[in-house]
Amino acid sequence: MAEKTVKTPWKDHLGAVPFTLDYFQGSMYEAVEKVAEQYPKYIAFDFMGKSTTYRELIENIQKCARSLRTIGVREDDRVTIAMPNCPQAIYMLYAVNLIGAVANMVHPLSSEAELEFYLNESNSVTVVTLDQFYGKFEAIRQNTHLVNVIIASIKDALSKPMRAGYMLTEGRKMKKIPDSAPVIRWAEFMRLNKACFWQRQVKRAYDDPAAILYSGGTTGTTKGILLTNGNFNALSQQIVAANPMFRPGDRMLSAMPLFHGFGLGVCIHSMLASGGRCVLVPRFTAQSYSKLIVKYKCNFIAGVPTLFEALLRLPSMDKANLQSLKGVFSGGDSLSVELKKKLDKFLYDHGSVVQVREGYGTTETVTACCLTPPHMFKEGSIGLPFPDTFIKIVKPDTDEELPYGEEGEILLAGPTVMREYINQPEETAKTLRKHDDGLTWVYTGDLGTMDPEGFIYFKGRNKRMIITSGYNVYPAQLENIFDAHEKVSMSCVIGVPDSLKMQRVKVFVVPALGIEPTDELRAELLAYASKHIAKYAMPKELEFRESLPKTLVGKVAYRKLEEEELEKSRKQE
- pLDDT of 362 reads 93
pLDDT of residue 251: 98
What 8-state DSSP symbol labels residue 449? E
**Mean pLDDT, rounded, for 470-477:** 80
Q: Using DSSP, state whether 243 is helix, strand or coil.
A: coil
Distance CA 423, CA 14 (A): 45
Output the pLDDT for position 176: 84
Q: What is residue 173's predicted lDDT score, i.e. its pLDDT?
A: 64
Domain boundaries, the chain: 42-204, 381-461, 466-572
Q: 116-166: per-residue pLDDT in tens?
A: 999 999 999 999 999 999 999 999 999 999 999 999 998 877 766 665 555
Q: Report the helix count and the strand count for the chain, using DSSP H and E.
A: 20, 27
What radius of gyration, in Å, describes the C-alpha atoms of the chain? 24
Over 50: is that where the pLDDT of 7 sits?
no
Nearest to 305 by CA among 250, 382, 230: 382
Average pLDDT, the chain: 88
CATH class held by domain 42-204: alpha beta
Residue percentage of the chain with pLDDT more than 90? 63
42-204 and 381-461 share one fold: no
566 vs 462, higher pLDDT: 566
**Alpha-carbon span 439 to 340, nearest angstrom:** 34
If one counts every other C-beta atom within 10 angstroms of the C-beta of residue 367, the result is: 29
CATH number of the domain at 466-572, out of 3.30.390.10, 3.40.50.720, 3.30.300.30, 1.10.287.110? 3.30.300.30
DSSP, collapsed to helix, strand or coil, labels residue 552 as coil
What is the rounded average pLDDT of the residues 478-490?
86
d(Cα 109, Cα 230) in Å, to the nearest integer?
Answer: 29
- Residues in Cβ contact with 54 at an 8 Å cutoff, skipping those fewer than 6 apart: 32, 35, 36, 39, 40, 41, 42, 43, 44, 275
Q: Percent of the chain, pLDDT > 70?
A: 90
For residue 112, pLDDT over 90 is answered with: yes
d(CA 356, CA 15): 20
pLDDT one-digit tens code per residue, 168-202: 455 556 778 988 899 999 999 999 999 987 666 78
Q: What is the pLDDT of residue 464?
A: 74
Q: What is the pLDDT of residue 552?
A: 47
Homologous superfamily, domain 381-461? Luciferase; Domain 3 (2.30.38.10)
pLDDT (mean) for 383-405: 95
Mean pLDDT for the stretch of residues 554-570: 80
d(CA 234, CA 416): 6
3-state secondary structure 443-465: EEEEEEEECCCCCEEEEEECCCC
Quick one: pLDDT band at residue 339, thresholds 50, 70, 90? confident
Indicate the pTM of the whole model.
0.83
CB of 122 within 8 A of CB of 226? no
- The residue that leads in pLDDT, 478 or 432, is 432
pLDDT at 463 over 80: no
Nearest alpha carbon to residue 157 among 89, 55, 101, 218: 89
Q: For helices 54-70 and 87-98, what crossing angle results, to 10°?
A: 60
